[in-house]
Chain A
Amino acid sequence: MGSEAPTLRTQTRPPLWRDVRVLRVVFQVAFVVAVLAFLYYLYGNFRTNARASGLSTSFTFLDRTAGVNIRDTDFRRTQPVRDALIVGLINTLRVATVGIALATILGILIGVARLSTNWLVRKAAAVYVETLRNIPVVVVIIFFYTAVVLKLPSVQEAFTWFGLVVFSNRGLNVPWGEGGALVRPFLAVCAGAFVVALLVARWRTKRFDETGQPHRRVLYGTGVLLVLVAIGYLLLGSPVTLTLPTADGRLVEGGIELGPEYAALLIALALYTTSHIAEIVRGSILAVPKGQSEAANAIALTAFQRLRFVVLPQAFRIMVPPLANQYLNITKNSSLALFIGFSDLFLIAQNVIANGNPAPQVYLIVMATYLSLSLVISLFANIANRRLTLGTR
């Protein structure tokens, strides 16, 4: 038997063209070759067409003069295309980061409001969500630009809110620190203080795990942060002064001006994404098993404690992947700035193309940039996901 088996196997071994292992490899090689051949065919077409129309196929245009004006920046027309695209990327990031922060806060508020015991609050939140969710984001953006921000009163009659915010058809003015020569060292001190505060918070957590004493890590962390920043501020001789915006005739003095396009885009994106995040928050809270709240009630936790220590931590775990998806959407939707003329990466790319630079390469760079932003957000989401699932179980 033992000696027979090998011969048996060699005898029944199928011929090469019927051997699954061989076929698998052959099929895959054929598939890859077909895809590569198709791509090569497209590239060949591109080369021929580009040569016929005298279009450059290289990336040297990045060093040419951009020749575009970018509003609200100190970008000069003579700077190269490369710099223009970088300015655009920074503007995209300005919208995306602030938008993500605003949408998260508002989304959590409205998501919780949809579960309120108050009928009126619940209904109002539902109407908000069902209205905005079913309208294209572009329409919301254009609406906020042309029908809200541009129709605001002029600076002379601008809205002011406790002297902190000035809102006019020139945009939104908010308080801002005005820096002297020592801004950069001060920012470095702030970053250092933040790191130290994080380390202190970690040390408190560790101590809590070991001894069971109250950790008070938030208290300790913020304390250390504030003390270090205050020391840095005094040592550097008040490097930053806070200025408040004030409407003065036709101009707004002090603070920082966020142009009308930026303000409209930011508000529209934040409000639109809020409606989606609110649904995620509501769904995640509902997805926490009912037994958890009942158990929390049984051990006599207060309503706040139940939410803070039992329901929300578990809801957050469910929330992370879809939330990350919404963050991705904000980042991608910021490209709709095109419709209202805010100089984000995509609009500047359009302008650069309009100046005679080769469209295929510019779009390739734009796509690669958005793709990297997406990958970065996914990376953070994965880290958060892993930490939440490991840390709480």
Chain B
Amino acid sequence: MTAGPIQTRTEEPLPLPEAETPPERRLPPGMWVRENLFNSPLNTVLTIVFGLLIAWVVFRATRFVFVTGRWQVIEQNLTNFMVGRFPRDELYRPWIAIYLAAGAAGVGTALYARTRPPVPWTVTLRRASPALLGLVVILSLSRTWLPAALTVGGFAVGAAGRLLGNRLPERARRLLPLVGLATVLLAYVAFTGFGGVGWDNWGGLLLTLFVAVAGIVLSFPFGVLLALGRRSSFPAVRVICVGYIELIRGVPLITLIFIGALVLGFFLPPGMTRPGLTMRALVAIILFAAAYIAEIVRGGLQSVPKGQTEAAKAIGLSPVKTTMRIVLPQALRNVIPALVGQFISLFKDTSLLGAISLLEILGVSQAVLAQQEFLGQRVQAEALVFASFLYWVACYSMSRASQRLEQRLGVGER
């Protein structure tokens, strides 16, 4: 089943084991309207009521976006929304990182696409449409042509990467994780190396992305350990892991963030300098995310049939090898979509960092309201709508991708 129709028909039911959806019948427009909108008296009433309601909402939204909205507040602060307080004469650094990422993505997708049936470019375009929409909106709010030109350059680098990837020999595919890791490290160097800018001066979308990615990556090993501990045959280990997981899952993230910001210093050895605010927030987020990842991984561990462990035992694998080579790979494969879901919710949760005066997207959208020009201008709606739009583009694209992944991995179908 290609993933194409999933994007267009959001109402399509979740993939059920036995319910293979029949291909949609093509009806003439008149019949389609009668069958889908006016097939019973109740539906006729609903269609009229909802039609009026939707028309009103669409009218108000369009008018807000194109007529009444005062978007100067975004136009003037676009750089703030993207990178926060990042020094303005160092802005070439994020662009270098973007070019690195674009090139690596080009190579990666080229190598990856070989293993998959070809995807028509219309489908690719449709899949990328939310992200492209986001890009277009951001660039259209820019006051200079430079970002647009640089973005086109980014696409060019991506295309070059893709061409390069197509020429690479087959065995290069094994190096793919290494390429990913190298890209991340190089991007980090691009930001901080050679007299660069440390985390504490990052902000906006950059900070949001950094905290979300670092949070999920760093909490992952901890979460896997907790999940293994929770399923351990040692009662003492089990109790401690369950205690930790339930404690963290039972309290709001905002308490952990404030504890990280205000209280963490009390628990460090006396005389040690307190880490920066971003670091402390990140610690709170890692401790928080680990408990949720542990619960997801536990679900994966439970889904591995017992026969697998028994077979591993039968061929004489040690418990450690059984876990590392047999159980964990299958368990993690089963929970990839759930992990993406967790990443999405972590991405959304980074908005709480605004509470401890870190300038991520939401923090910026609140801070710009206090600027001299916009004070008392009642442009809260504009700032918040733009912030929501950034979050929405990222989360919606990711949740779509995770649904496609879920289908391809056939989770719940085996």
Contacts and interface: CB of A to CB of B under 8 A. Distances in A.
Interface string B337-351: 000000010001101
A360 B263 contact: yes
Given A31-B234, A31-B237, A130-B396, A366 B355 contact: no
Interface stretch (A174-182, A228-236, A333-341): A333-341
A283 B266 contact: no
A106 interface: no
Contact of A31 (B54, B236, B344, B352): B236
Contacts of B391: 134-136, 139
Contacts of B366: 142
Interface in B349-365: 349, 351-352, 354-355, 362
Contacts of A126: 10-11
Interface in B107-141: none
Nearest to B15: A286
A363 B258 contact: yes
B259 A363 contact: yes
Most buried by B among A24, A120, A286: A120
A24 B58 CA distance: 65
A131 interface: yes
A135 B361 CA distance: 12
Contact of A370 (B50, B234, B255): B255
Nearest to B51: A120
A143 B11 contact: no
Given A32-B236, A126-B11, A346-B252, A135 B395 contact: yes
B46 to A, nearest CB: 5
A142 B354 CA distance: 12
Interface string A109-126: 000001111111111101
Contacts of A117: 36, 39-40, 43
Interface string A266-305: 0000000000000000010011001000000000000000
Contact of A135 (B36, B47, B54, B392): B392
Contacts of A370: 250-252, 255
A374 interface: yes
B50 A124 contact: yes
A31 B51 CA distance: 63
A118 B46 contact: yes
Interface stretch (B81-89, B196-204, B377-385): B377-385
B266 A50 contact: yes
A114 B355 contact: no
Contacts of A119: 36-37
B152 interface: no
Nearest to B412: A287
Nearest to B13: A286
A134 B10 CA distance: 15
A48 interface: yes
Interface string B53-84: 11000000000000000000000000000000
**B interface, over-half SS:** helix
B30 interface: no
Nearest to B397: A134
A133 to B, nearest CB: 8
A134 B266 contact: no
B265 interface: yes
Contact of B240 (A31, A130, A359): A31
A363 B264 CA distance: 12
Interface in A336-360: 336, 338-339, 346, 350, 353, 359-360
Nearest to B379: A147
Interface string A130-168: 110111111110110011000100000000000000000
A290 B362 CA distance: 44
Most buried by A among B54, B384, B387: B384
B249 interface: yes
A199 interface: no
B267 A147 contact: no
Interface string B1-34: 0000000001101101011000000000000000
Contacts of A48: 270
A1 B388 CA distance: 79
B151 interface: no
Interface in A30-46: 31-32, 35, 42, 45-46
B266 A35 contact: no
Contact of B362 (A138, A333, A335, A359): A138
Most buried by A among B259, B266, B378: B266
Contact of B50 (A27, A120, A335, A353): A120
B384 A286 contact: no
A350 B16 CA distance: 47
B142 interface: no
B254 interface: yes
Contacts of A45: 266-270
B324 interface: no
A227 interface: no
B320 to A, nearest CB: 13
Contacts of A124: 50, 53-54
B399 interface: yes
B370 interface: no
B235 interface: yes
B14 A286 contact: yes
A359 B388 contact: no
A118 B37 contact: yes
A28 B235 contact: yes
A185 B392 CA distance: 51
23 contacts: A49-B265, A118-B36, A120-B51, A126-B10, A126-B11, A131-B392, A134-B344, A134-B348, A134-B392, A136-B362, A137-B348, A139-B351, A146-B380, A146-B384, A147-B384, A290-B19, A328-B250, A338-B355, A360-B266, A363-B259, A367-B247, A370-B255, A374-B250
Given A49-B265, A120-B46, A135-B395, 13 more contacts: A31-B237, A49-B268, A118-B43, A120-B54, A130-B10, A134-B348, A136-B391, A139-B362, A139-B391, A147-B381, A339-B354, A359-B263, A370-B251
